[in-house]
Amino acid sequence: MTGARLLRGAVGAAGFLLAGELVIRFGLGENLLFPPPSTVLYEAVRLPADPKFLAGVGATLANWALGLLTAVAVAVPAGVLLGSLAPVERAIRPVLEFLRPIPSVAIIPLAILLVPVDELMKVSVIVYASVWPILINTLYGMRDVDPLAKESLRSFGFGPAAVLARVSLPSAAPFVATGVRIAAGIALVLAVSAELVAGGVNGIGVYVTVAGNGNRTDLMMAATFWAGLFGVIANLALLAGERRLFRWHHARTGAVS
Amino acid sequence: MARTLRCHVLVLGSVAVLALTGCSGGGASPASTGPNGLEKATIKVGALPIPDPVALYIAQAKGFFKEEGLAVEPVTITGGAAALPQIESGALDITQTNYVSSILAAGQGKKIKLVADMYRAAPNTFEIMVPKDSPIQRVADLKGKTVLVNNLRNIATLAVTTQLRAAGLSEADVKFAEKPFPEMGNAITAGQGDAGWITEPFITANKNALGFRTIADTMTGPTADLPIAGWMATDEWVRQNPKTLAAFQRAISKAQRLASGDRKEIEAALPTYTKIDAKTAAAITLGAYPSTLEAARLQKVADLMLEYKYINGPIDVKSLIAASPGG
């Protein structure tokens, strides 16, 4: 991100906050039930001093990381498998296409009923939701592999394993990385949503629930602000990782994203 | 080489399938027998971050559970809709419930037991409120209006309906819409509803911050001193853990007596598990904290629910109450 772009982004965000501040202070009337952005930001800055909030952040991020890693471990091999074996892919495709559009938040009540351990329940729904983008991206990545490159290797006598390791996997890797980045955002949404629906001992969503029930809308929004910030940071970090790892891919496709 | 790789892929694939399906497996964690012969020495107890379950945190802070050899892990729940499946799955051992929800569940054949009393209504603990400049002055003025409640077909709608009847109206004369308590004040201000069924700390907050006024106290007449919330477990859990349950009941009952005898105990405990600060804790109206679960009193809730067709047949609440150690 260049300096000018960063500046423009900052100006946009500041303008948005200022507009919100003015509308609430002079239009809707300021009170605890409708806190202006300045109050929310002030509380957001103070939140890291609250041990209960820190414990919540730890719990949410732990579930998030565990869920995302499990999803990668499940979806990448499954995507490679389906991407390499066309008949299997055709057989499983209808099931995938049916399950994929189901809003993942809607399976939380079912997960609560099925999984007797709170943390495992949360990780399960995170895995379920984040498997799809990784799986589908891996699948398309495998399909996008240059057939000529594969044929060349085969004609030199390389076996399927070597073709997979030397051509297919490296070629599909940027697609997988994009899938993981999309899944990371979805996983964070599910990590917090599961806490909002099911509660728990600690978590950003649990903190929001407690703040809401105690009529602290300002704390509710401040905690939500942090959840959003974690999403932005994760996305930027993964995007930077992708750029570094797959410079050749971006050069080839001209993708700037 | 090719064969081994294909095997690897297959193994990975099956691991993937196992991981996906395996998540839903597993049963209750093995019970650890504790001191005093308790079947379970550590239990997870679900509670809402509101004043009702204060005895849980008082008992915890004063060491009442520890005296019984019981370790209690409080878990924040978000409402009855999630808590019932959580005791059914075994994620929670005992949970807070409101009596209308538990009697509804019993009416649907759910095998649950009420194990201890928690919270009973007192005057001005559940009110119908409107904005200060609203034309609505009395309950009769609600005809054709939208009333916001925290849950549809639950304790809120039941309480409002009893007031409607007293004013010569029926349930069909108003429109009920669902909105969580924290958002109700703003939702009414924004025109999403004309009135709201509101409890503490939101009665005080809406009054002070938005100038709301009360048109009716819903806990009067047939709903005076209405039992609101209690502790619930599954029938199976109660049968398997009689000693653990008795220990829990003794500790909770002791804390309830402390709470009902001295409001300062409640005010001290509230800021430890809710975001209600000391100033608000001192100002809000609180209900009663009974130390025994009385069938006769609770029967009133079931009878009201039958009267307003929340349940299809009569329910004898004695069949829902787990015996307490005192008999």
> Residues B195-217: pLDDT tens digits?
999 999 999 999 988 899 999 99
Burial class (CB in 10 A: 0-12, 13-18, 19+), A219: buried
Would you call B29 and A200 a contact, using CB atoms and an 8 Å cutoff?
Answer: no
3-state secondary structure of B182: helix
B7 to chain A, any CB pair closer than 8 A? The answer is no
Mean pLDDT over all residues of chain A? 90
Identify all chain A residues contacting B90, using CB atoms and an 8 Å cutoff. Answer: 116
Identify all chain B residues contacting A63, using CB atoms and an 8 Å cutoff. Answer: none
The CA distance from B169 to the nearest CA of chain A, in Å, is 31
Alpha helices in chain A (DSSP H): 3-22, 37-46, 51-84, 86-99, 108-114, 118-143, 147-155, 160-163, 169-198, 204-213, 217-245, 247-253
Identify all chain B residues contacting A219, using CB atoms and an 8 Å cutoff. Answer: 275
Q: Which residues of A156-165 are buried (b: 16+ CB within 10 A; e: fewer)?
A: eebebbbbbe
| Tens of pLDDT, residues B123-179 | 999 999 999 999 999 999 999 999 999 999 999 999 999 999 999 999 999 999 999
* Chain A, window 216-245: residues with a beta carbon less than 8 angstroms from a chain B beta carbon: 216-217, 219-220
Dist CA B275 CA A214 (whole Å) = 5
Identify all chain B residues contacting A89, using CB atoms and an 8 Å cutoff. Answer: none
Would you call A31 and B210 a contact, using CB atoms and an 8 Å cutoff?
Answer: yes
* Chain A, window 25-44: residues with a beta carbon less than 8 angstroms from a chain B beta carbon: 31-34
Dist CA B34 CA A234 (whole Å) = 44
What pLDDT score was predicted for residue A18?
Answer: 87
* A100/B300: higher pLDDT: B300
Partnered with residue B73 across adjacent β-strands are B44
Dist CA A31 CA A17 (whole Å) = 17
For CA atoms A165, A170, A171, A172, the dihedral sign is: positive
Best of A33, A127, A153 to substitute, by most chain B Cβ atoms within 10 angstroms, is A33
* Element at B43 (helix H, strand E): strand B42-47
Scanning every residue of chain B, which has its alpha carbon at the shortest distance from the alpha carbon of A209? B78
Please, what is the end-to-end C-alpha distance for chain A in angstroms? 11
B27 to chain A, any CB pair closer than 8 A? The answer is yes
Would you call B210 and A33 a contact, using CB atoms and an 8 Å cutoff?
Answer: yes
Dist CA B197 CA B222 (whole Å) = 17
Q: Which two tokens stand for residue A130?
A: 């984040």
User: Torsions phi, psi of B196, nearest 5?
Assistant: -140, 145
B74 to chain A, any CB pair closer than 8 A? The answer is yes
A127 to chain B, any CB pair closer than 8 A? The answer is yes
Q: Looking at residues A237-254, what average pLDDT do you find?
A: 81
Mean pLDDT over all residues of chain B? 89
The letter for the amino acid at B86 is: Q
* A155/A70: higher pLDDT: A70
* Chain B, window 221-240: residues with a beta carbon less than 8 angstroms from a chain A beta carbon: none
Burial class (CB in 10 A: 0-12, 13-18, 19+), B143: middle
Burial class (CB in 10 A: 0-12, 13-18, 19+), A114: middle
* Ranges A4-8, A56-60, B192-196: which has the least confidence: A4-8
Q: Looking at residues B10-16, what average pLDDT do you find?
A: 41
Distance of CA A62 to the CA centre of its chain: 14
pTM: 0.87
Q: Which two tokens stand for residue A30?
A: 């300021």
